C-alpha cells in the first residue's frame, strides 16, 4: 500500500552546502560524520559524493577537488554525479565551513521525516493486510515511531572511550555519595541504606502472601516519590483509582481508614483530609486501573507518559493479574509470567527507570512451619527470580502469631540484590492509616 505521491521532505541546498564545506575544510568531515549517515542524503549523487569523501578521510588521504575527482573516477562514478563541473560547483557553493553542523542538522531532520513517512507507509500496509494481531501491529508501530522520534536506530557498537567516560561518571556519583543514596529514595531510611535507593533500569520484585501490606508499602513509596517531585506511574490491576487515593489520603494525612470509609470523620480529621487532598492533588502521580492490562498496553502507556510528562518510577500492582502477548492462546501460565517479567525488565532498561512489580506468593508458604518467604517460593512463578535485580519479601510475624512481641512490625527481606548486599530491615506498620514508618520514627 502506497501513500499518495508527493515529494518527500528534502533540502538540496543544505545537502550541497554540507558537501561543499567538507571539500574546503578537513575538520568539517569529522563534524558531519557525527551527524549524518550516507542514507540521510536525499539525492543519490550527493550520497555517492559523501561516501567517496568519507573513504578518502578513512584512508588518511587529503580530501579536495583533485583527490575527490580521482576517487570518483576510479569507482566509475564521476560521470554519474555530474562530472568535474559539478564537483567544482560544490567547492564554490559556500565560502566558509563555519555553518556545516547547522546545515548537516537540516539534512538530518529531513531524513528523519522521510523515515517517519516510510514507517507510516509500512504500518499502513500491515494494517491493510490484516495478517497479524492488532496488538502486535500497534506495538511494532509504536517502537518504530519512537525510534525515529528519539533518533535511536537501535543498539550499536560503541567505542570504549565513550563507555569508560559514562562508567567513570557513574563511579564518581557513587564516590561523592560516600556510600549513601545513588538512586531514588523510597522514603524509608534503613531500606535506602541497604539498596542505596531505587536504581534506574532495575526490576524490583516485592512479593508476599495476601494481607502483608504489599499495596500499602508501594503506595507509601509512590506518595513519597511524588511529593518530592518525582513522576510516578502506578498501574493498579486490583483496586480502583478511587480506592487507592483513599489509602494515600489516609496514610499521608494520618486519618483512620475505617472512619473514612464509613463517613465518621470528625472536624479535626476532615480538616486533615482537606489539607492532604490539596497536597496530593499537586503530586505528579499518574494512576491507571485497567483490569487485566497486557504487557504491550502497559509499555505503550508508560512510553507515552515519559514522552509527555517525564517518568521516574513505575509501580505495578500486581504482576500475576497482567496478561502476556499470547494470553488468549496460552495454556501455560508459568511461561506467560516469565514473558511478563522479561518484558518488565526490558521496559525498565528502555525507559531507564526503576520498575517495582508486586507479586503474590503461592499457598505453599502456608503449608510449612517457618512462614518467612524464601527465593525458592518464586520457583514456580516463571523466571521472576532470574529477571529481578532486587527481590523483597514482606513478612509480618503477628499475622501468624497473635501473641508475638513483634506487634505491627513488618520485616522487609531483601533476598536478592544483584548489585549489593542481602539483608532485612524492619518497618512499623500503622494498619489504621495503612502507613509504614521507620522504626525510629514510629
> Would you list the DSSP string of 87-115?
HHHHHTS-S-STTHHHHHHHHHHHHHHHH
CB 391 within 8 A of CB 195: no
C-alpha 94: how far from its chain's center? 43
Compute the half-sphere exposure of residue 115: CA atoms within 13 Å on the CB side of its CA. 21
List the beta bridge partners of residue 413: 393, 424
The three three-digit cell numbers of residue 43, written as one number: 539525492
pLDDT value at position 110? 92
Residue 3, number of CB atoms within 10 A of its CB: 11
Q: What are the φ/ψ torsions at residue 90 (nearest 5 degrees)? A: -60, -40
**Residues belonging to the chain:** 442
Of 129, 137, 109, 124, the closest CA to residue 3 belongs to: 124
DSSP for residue 375 = G
**pLDDT one digit per residue (tens) for the chain, 442 residues:** 455 567 889 999 999 999 999 988 888 888 888 788 888 999 999 999 999 998 888 777 888 889 999 999 999 999 999 998 998 988 888 878 888 889 999 999 999 889 888 888 888 888 888 777 777 777 777 777 766 665 544 445 567 777 777 777 777 766 676 656 788 999 999 999 999 999 999 999 999 888 888 999 999 999 999 999 999 999 999 888 889 988 988 888 888 888 888 888 888 888 888 888 888 889 999 999 988 888 878 888 888 888 889 999 999 988 888 887 654 445 577 778 888 888 899 899 989 999 999 988 877 777 777 778 888 887 666 688 888 999 999 998 887 878 778 788 889 999 999 988 999 999 999 888 889 999 875 5
In the chain the domains, ranked by start, together with CATH numbers, are: 1-154 (1.10.860.10), 180-441 (3.40.50.300)
pLDDT value at position 401? 79
Q: What are the φ/ψ torsions at residue 116 (nearest 5 degrees)? A: -65, -40
Q: What are the φ/ψ torsions at residue 235 (nearest 5 degrees)? A: -100, 115
Amino acid at each position: 500500500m502506497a501513500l499518495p505521491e508527493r515529494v518527500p521532505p528534502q533540502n538540496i541546498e543544505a545537502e550541497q552546502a554540507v558537501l561543499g564545506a567538507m571539500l574546503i575544510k578537513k575538520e568539517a568531515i569529522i563534524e558531519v560524520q557525527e551527524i549524518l549517515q550516507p542514507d540521510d542524503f536525499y539525492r543519490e549523487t550527493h550520497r555517492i559524493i559523501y561516501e567517496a569523501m568519507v573513504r578518502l578521510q578513512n584512508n588518511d588521504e587529503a580530501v579536495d577537488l583533485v583527490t575527490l575527482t580521482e576517487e570518483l573516477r576510479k569507482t566509475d562514478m564521476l560521470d554519474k554525479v555530474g562530472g568535474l563541473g559539478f564537483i567544482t560547483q560544490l567547492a564554490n557553493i559556500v565560502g566558509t565551513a563555519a555553518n556545516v553542523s547547522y546545515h548537516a542538522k537540516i539534512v538530518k531532520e529531513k531524513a528523519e521525516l522521510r523515515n517517519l513517512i516510510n514507517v507510516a507507509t509500512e504500518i499502513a500496509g500491515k494494517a491493510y493486510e490484516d495478517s497479524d494481531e492488532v496488538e502486535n501491529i500497534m506495538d511494532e508501530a509504536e517502537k518504530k515511531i519512537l525510534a525515529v522520534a528519539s533518533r535511536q536506530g537501535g543498539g550499536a557498537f560503541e567505542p570504549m572511550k565513550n563507555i569508560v567516560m559514562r562508567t567513570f561518571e557513574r563511579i564518581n556519583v557513587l564516590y561523592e555519595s560516600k556510600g549513601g543514596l545513588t538512586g531514588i529514595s523510597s522514603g524509608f531510611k534503613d531500606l535506602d541504606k541497604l539498596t542505596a535507593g531505587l536504581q534506574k533500569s532495575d526490576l524490583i520484585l516485592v512479593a508476599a502472601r495476601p494481607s502483608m501490606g504489599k499495596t500499602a508499602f508501594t503506595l507509601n513509596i509512590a506518595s513519597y516519590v511524588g511529593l518530592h517531585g518525582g513522576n510516578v506511574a502506578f498501574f493498579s490491576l486490583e483496586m480502583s483509582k478511587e480506592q487507592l487515593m483513599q489509602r494515600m489520603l489516609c496514610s499521608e494525612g494520618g486519618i483512620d481508614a475505617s472512619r473514612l470509609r464509613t463517613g465518621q470523620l470528625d472536624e479535626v480529621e476532615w480538616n486533615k483530609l482537606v489539607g492532604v487532598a490539596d497536597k496530593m492533588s499537586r503530586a505528579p502521580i499518574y494512576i491507571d486501573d485497567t483490569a487485566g492490562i497486557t504487557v504491550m498496553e502497559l509499555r505503550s502507556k508508560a512510553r507515552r507518559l515519559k514522552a509527555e510528562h517525564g517518568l521516574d518510577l513505575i509501580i505495578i500492582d500486581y504482576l500475576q493479574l497482567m496478561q502476556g502477548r499470547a494470553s488468549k492462546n496460552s495454556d501455560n501460565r508459568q511461561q506467560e509470567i516469565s514473558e511478563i517479567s522479561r518484558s518488565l525488565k526490558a521496559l525498565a532498561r528502555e525507559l531507564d527507570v526503576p520498575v517495582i512489580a508486586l507479586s503474590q506468593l503461592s499457598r505453599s508458604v502456608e503449608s510449612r512451619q517457618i512462614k518467612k518467604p524464601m527465593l525458592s517460593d518464586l520457583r514456580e512463578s516463571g523466571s521472576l527470580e532470574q529477571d529481578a535485580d532486587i527481590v523483597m519479601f514482606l513478612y509480618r510475624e503477628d499475622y501468624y502469631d497473635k501473641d508475638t512481641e513483634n506487634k505491627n512490625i513488618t520485616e522487609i527481606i531483601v533476598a536478592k540484590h544483584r548489585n549489593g548486599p542481602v539483608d532485612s530491615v524492619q518497618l512499623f506498620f500503622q494498619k489504621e492509616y495503612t502507613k509504614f514508618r521507620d522504626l525510629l520514627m514510629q
